[in-house]
Amino acid sequence: MATMTSTTSPPAPVFLDRLKRVNWTPYLFLALPLALYFVWIIAPTLYSIYLSMTDWDGVTAVPNFLGFANYQRLFTDRTFNEALVNNVRWLAVFITVPTTLGLGLALIFNQEMRGGRWYKISFYSPLVLSLPVIGLIWAWVYQPRAGLINSLLVGIGVQNPPGWLADRDLAIWCIIAAAAWRQVGYVMVLYLAGLKNVDPTLVEAAIVDGANRRQLFQHVILPLLAPVTTIVVVISIIDSLRAFDLVSIMTAGNQRTQVLANYMYIQAFNNYKMGYGAAIAVILFLISLIFIGFYLWRTIRDELEY
């Protein structure tokens, strides 16, 4: 009778011998960071998803499981919809205004000019300040009686200057303007770093071929800055979605200035509706995940092409 060849796993001594040959040092170095990442990031994220399906108030030992009831309630919540619209407004301004101004400043300061270093420092300095400090500064700037803007308006003859943060139509735009003021310097530095990597021979070749400044910028410099632009846009999107500090300091979410992060905080820690607040957090996480996933997909695709 013919013997059959075995396709089973190798004997235990052979398997143990293979394990001994494996270099475990890299895995040991990765073990602690991965464990901390799981404890501080993955586990809380999964727990928040679970809480979003309960009515937990932060005190009750065993919360009631509600399923998707909190999510159904979100789409009929007027304040949530208002906060979502404000985040979209924030996103639209952050992608356009700081990106355009930051790129323009980078193009100006990339040239040799007298005092250029001090100009760069002056535009970058707002980024050094914390967001609560910036909120306090701009709250004074918008102050209706003794604020900087209204004092200037009164000085040029305006009789009834607006109450910026008290106006339900202007308040959210005032806060976004303060955030954009801080973001411009950050975008400028990113584009300055990108301009340093532009191959000068390509610029010189375009000039020799007769390209004017507009053509040089449109067909040479801007395409070479595409990777930096992608990073700027993704960072601007993430910063706009996590907006919280300025709203909390300047208006506390009043005057129709609510954003998702601030509304989540109010529901969870002021109204003790942890489950409902977790549902808002999950929605915010999913929106962020869309943009982050697009950025990762594009980055991996570009690396594979090279």
The answer to whether residue 12 sits within a structural domain is no
Q: Which two tokens stand for residue 25?
A: 């040092």
Q: Which two tokens stand for residue 101?
A: 């101004």
The answer to whether residue 229 sits within a structural domain is yes
The answer to whether residue 161 sits within a structural domain is yes
Residue 195: name the closest of 303, 87, 108 by CA: 108
Q: Tell me, what CATH number does 217's domain have? A: 1.10.3720.10
Size of the chain, expressed as the number of residues it contains: 306
In angstroms, the CA 188 to CA 114 distance is 18
Q: In the block, which residue shows the tokens 């619209």?
A: 85
In angstroms, the CA 237 to CA 155 distance is 38
Number of structural domains (the chain) is 1
The answer to whether residue 52 sits within a structural domain is no
Q: What is the largest CA-CA distance in the chain?
A: 111
The answer to whether residue 30 sits within a structural domain is no
Residue 295: name the closest of 243, 227, 196, 241 by CA: 227
The answer to whether residue 51 sits within a structural domain is no
Task: Measure Cα distances from 194 to 197, 204, 211 in Å.
Answer: 5, 17, 21
In angstroms, the CA 197 to CA 249 distance is 39
The answer to whether residue 55 sits within a structural domain is no
The answer to whether residue 15 sits within a structural domain is no
Q: In the block, which residue shows the tokens 């919280």?
A: 244
HEC states along the chain? CCCCCCCCCCCHHHHHHHHHHCCCHHHHHHHHHHHHHHHHHHHHHHHHHHHCCECCCCCCCCCCECCCHHHHHHCCCHHHHHHHHHHHHHHHHHHHHHHHHHHHHHHHHCCCCCCHHHHHHHHHHHHHCCHHHHHHHHHHHCCCCCCHHHHHHHHCCCCCCCCHHHCCCCHHHHHHHHHHHHHHHHHHHHHHHHHHCCCHHHHHHHHHCCCCHHHHHHHHHHHHCHHHHHHHHHHHHHHHHCCCHHHHHHCCCCCCCCCHHHHHHHHHHHCCCHHHHHHHHHHHHHHHHHHHHHHHHHHHHHHHHC
Q: What is the pLDDT along the chain (306 residues), one digit of tens a residue?
A: 444 444 555 555 666 667 667 777 788 888 899 999 999 999 999 999 999 999 998 888 888 999 999 999 998 999 999 999 999 999 999 999 999 999 999 999 888 888 888 888 888 888 888 999 999 999 999 998 888 999 999 989 888 888 899 989 999 999 999 999 999 999 999 999 998 888 888 888 888 888 888 888 888 888 889 889 988 988 888 889 889 999 999 999 888 999 999 999 999 999 999 999 999 999 999 998 888 888 888 778 877 776
Range of the domain at 167: 89-267
Q: In the block, which residue shows the tokens 């991996």?
A: 300
Q: Which two tokens stand for residue 95?
A: 């992608």
Q: What are phi and psi of 55, to 5 degrees?
A: -110, 30
